[in-house]
Structure 1
Amino acid sequence: MKDLIRKFAVSSEEVLIEGGRAVSKPYRTSVVAAVIRNPWAGRGFVEDLQPEIMSIAPELGAKMVPRLLEAIGGAEAVEAYGKAAVVGVSGEVEHASALIHTLRFGNALREAVKGVSYLNFTNKRAGPGTSIDVPLTHINTLGKRSHFLTASIVIPDAPGADELVIAIGAATSGRPHARIGDRYEDMKAMGVDQTNTKVPA
């Protein structure tokens, strides 16, 4: 595993004024990204991705989550989270998806912050310097629109053609001055069945 990781990148932002008005509590987002060699690069079409998923994903989550919690101010500070992956141009989007769409990766963050919601995600193929956008949702209440957020990071030299960038992000609150209501309010007003709102783990 150690031979796969080229570097970690961390980006944090703390917003004090939004819309010309001071926020009641500083709004902080953090992203941690790992730049790793794509273990499937140069091997042609690999039918079974599971061996690499099993050997890489759990350790990657274990290395990234402590870095994210340090950047964001501790597990108790996290109200929203998400994940993202970008594969370099020599790889498949499936390679990016493989390492983040497994409970062996996502559970490391979910359990650390005592969340129950699935981690929202993006996965794409792109070259170095692409904007890596990590969509965030509330750790316990998926319909809480105040926590529909995006945290971003740019790494000028990644991903290389044979690399992957795996990212996780978190926020300490919802959007400053959030005022558009929750999804469940719309559902109630529209007479939509609120019991049929299950989402995949």
Structure 2
Amino acid sequence: MPAEIRKTLLHVEDTLIEGGKAAKTPLKMIAAVAVIKNPWAGQGFVEDLRPAIHDCAPGLGEKLTAMILEAAGGGDKVEGYGKSAIVGVNGEVEHASALIHTLRFGNHFREAVGAKSYLAFTNTRGPANAPLQIPLMDKNDGGRRSHYLTIQLSVADAPGPDEIVIALGASIGGRPHHRIGDRYQDLKELGHDADNPAAV
């Protein structure tokens, strides 16, 4: 059975001034959120989560990706991306993880925006109005620190005890006045090969 969605939310924020200084290019961050019934609610400890993952994750990934793309104006506009889930207090963190840590969920987003890097993530348990944090990173370059961002919001009435909040996040642009350099600069200064950080 597909996910039982109680409601969806779209969160869009534009940062125009940061640190008291106008942003040359405003940062837009977008979150697409779904509140669903936990498909394992009331079943006790479920050994095999895969059937419900296969039922629920693809539709959720498709729906939330479509919401992001509409708000962003297309997948090519998205620069940073990530995902998050909060399971209600009657569920397990494993339930939140199950629905977002599957290619059946994330690949909809990854392919739609033409990404190469992995989807940054958080998965937690909490009550209604628990903080939802969606970490972002550059969709193609995991060392591009300007796009290390976090979308923060909460849903006043979710997750209920037997619900899960599932979210995708995206950015158009990076931090307005980023000035800490990229990871590759540190690697070079520390004597590491940027293409093979483990080598000295």
Report the TM-score range of the alignment, normalised by the length of the smaller protein: over 0.9
Judge conservation of contact 1:12–1:72 (CA < 8 Å) in 2.
no
Q: Is the 8 A contact 2:3 2:39 kept in 1?
A: no
Cα 1:80–1:3 change in 2 (3 A) is closer
State which drifts further: 185-194 or 144-153: 185-194
| Structure 2 residue matching 1:46: 3-state secondary structure | coil
Deviation at 1:153, TM superposition (A): 2.2
Q: 1:93 to 1:3 in 2, by over 3 A?
A: closer
Contact kept, 8 Å, 2:16 with 2:23, in 1: the verdict is: yes
Cα distance in structure 2, aligned partners of 1:80 and 1:35:
23
State the partner residue of 2:38.
38
Counterpart of 1:25 in structure 2 is: 25
Residue type of the alignment partner of 1:195? D
CA distance in 1, matches of 2:152, 2:197: 28
Partner Cα separation in structure 2 for residue 11 and residue 138 of structure 1: 19
Cross-structure match for 1:73: 73
Aligned to 2:108: 108
Other-structure match for 1:82: 82
Which residue of structure 2 aligns with residue 153 of structure 1? 153
2:132 aligned counterpart, secondary structure: strand
Question: Helix, strand or coil: the match of 2:176?
Answer: coil
CA distance in 2, matches of 1:2, 1:46: 18
TM-score for the superposition, normalised by structure 2: 0.95
Gap regions ≥5 residues in structure 1:
none
Deviation of 1:74 after TM superposition, in Å, equals 2.2
1:4-57 per-position Cα deviation (integer Å, ceiling 9, x unaligned): 110001111001111111111121001011000000011010000000111111
Counterpart-to-counterpart distance in 2, 1:36 and 1:15: 30
Shift of 1:64: 0.9
Aligned-partner SS, 2:24: strand
What corresponds to 2:173 in structure 1?
173
Contact 2:187-2:197 within 8 A present in 1 as well: no
Q: What is the TM-score normalised by the length of structure 1? A: 0.95
Matched residues, percent identical?
Answer: 56
Please report how far the alpha carbon of residue 2 of structure 1 lies from its aligned counterpart in structure 2 after TM superposition: 5.7
CA-based RMSD? 1.4
Q: Determine the structure 1 residue equivalent to 2:141.
A: 141
Paired residues, what number?
A: 198
Structure 2: unaligned runs, 5 residues or longer = none
Per-residue deviation, 1:186: 0.2
Cα displacement (A) at 1:190:
0.1
